[in-house]
Amino acid sequence: MIGDYFSIAVNNLLQRRLRSYLTMIGIFIGIAAVVALIGLGEGLRTAITGQFGSFGPDKLSVQAGGVQAGPPGTGVIDPLTTDDAEAVEDVNGVKMVIPRMVRSVSVDFNDISKIGYLSNMVDGEKRDEIERVLDLKIEEGRFLKDGDKNKIVVAHNFADGERFKKQMKVGDSVLIEDKNFDIVGILKKKGSFIFDNIILMNEDPMRDLLDDHEKVDVLAVIVEDMDEIGLVKNRIEKLMRNRRDVKVGEEDFEVQSPEQALGTINDTLFAVQLFVSLIAGISLVVGGIGILNTMYTAVLERTREIGIMKSIGATNRAIFTMFFIESGLLGTLGGIVGVVLGLSMASGLSYLGRMFLGSELIQANFSPWLIIGSLLFSFILGSLAGITPALQAAKLHPVDALRYKK
Partner 1 sequence: MRFDYLRYALNNLSNRRLRSWLTIISILIGITMVFTLVSFGQGLSVYVDSLSEEMGSDKLIAQAGNFQTSTGGEFYFTEEEVDLIEKVRGIEETTAYQYGGIEIKEDDVKKYVYGVGVQTGDAQKLMDEVFGVEVVKGRALKEGDKQKVLLGYNYQLPDKIFEDPIDLGKKIHVNDVKFEVVGFYGEVGNPQDDSNVYITQDGWELLYPGESKRYVNIIARTAPGEEPKEVAERAEKELRDFRDQEEGEEDFFIQTFEDAIETFTNVIGVINSILILIALISVVVAGVNIMNTMYTAVVERTKEIGVMKAIGATNNSILLIFVVESGMLGLVGSGIGVILGYTISNAGGSIAASAGYSMLQPVFPIELVAGCLLFGFILGAGSGLLPARAASRQKPVNALRYE
Q: How far is the CB of 138 from partner 1 (least distance, A)?
A: 25
- Indicate whether 161 belongs to the interface with partner 1 (CB under 8 A): no
Compute the CA torsion angle 9, 12, 16, 17 (nearest 10 deg).
50
Q: Taking CB under 8 A as the rule, does residue 56 contact partner 1?
A: no
What is the torsional sign of CA 269, 270, 271, 276?
positive
103 binds partner 1 (CB under 8 A): yes
Classify 31 as helix, strand or coil.
helix
Strand ranges for 51-197 from DSSP E: 59-64, 80-81, 94-100, 102-109, 112-121, 138-141, 151-154, 173-176, 179-187
Q: What are phi and psi of 162, to 5 degrees?
A: -75, -45
When the beta carbons of 282 and 376 are compared against partner 1, the nearer one is: 282
Q: Which is nearer to partner 1, 289 or 376 (CB)?
A: 289
Considering only residues 23 through 42, tell me which ones interact with partner 1, judged by CB under 8 A. 23, 25-26, 29-30, 33, 37
Give me the least distance between CB of 27 and partner 1, in Å please.
8
CB of 279 or CB of 357, closer to partner 1: 279
286 interacts with partner 1 by CB under 8 A: yes
Asked if 171 touches partner 1 (CB under 8 A), the answer is no
- Least Å distance, CB 202 to partner 1, is 19
SS3 290: helix
Site string for partner 1, 194-233 (x = CB under 8 A): ----------------x------x----------------
Q: Which residue in 1, 2, 14, 67 binds partner 1 (CB under 8 A)? A: 67
Judge whether 210 and 143 are in contact, CB under 8 Å. Answer: no
Nearest to 156 by CA among 201, 100, 197, 107: 197
What is the footprint of partner 1 within residues 241-260 (CB under 8 A)?
Answer: 246, 250, 252
Alpha-carbon separation of residue 382 from 12, 61, 287, 303, 329 (angstroms): 16, 49, 9, 21, 7
> How far is Cα 325 from Cα 329, in angstroms, rounded to an integer?
6
Give the footprint of partner 1 on this chain (CB under 8 A).
Answer: 18-19, 22-23, 25-26, 29-30, 33, 37, 65-67, 69-78, 102-106, 111-117, 210, 217, 246, 250, 252, 276, 279-280, 282-283, 285-287, 289-290, 292-294, 296-297, 406
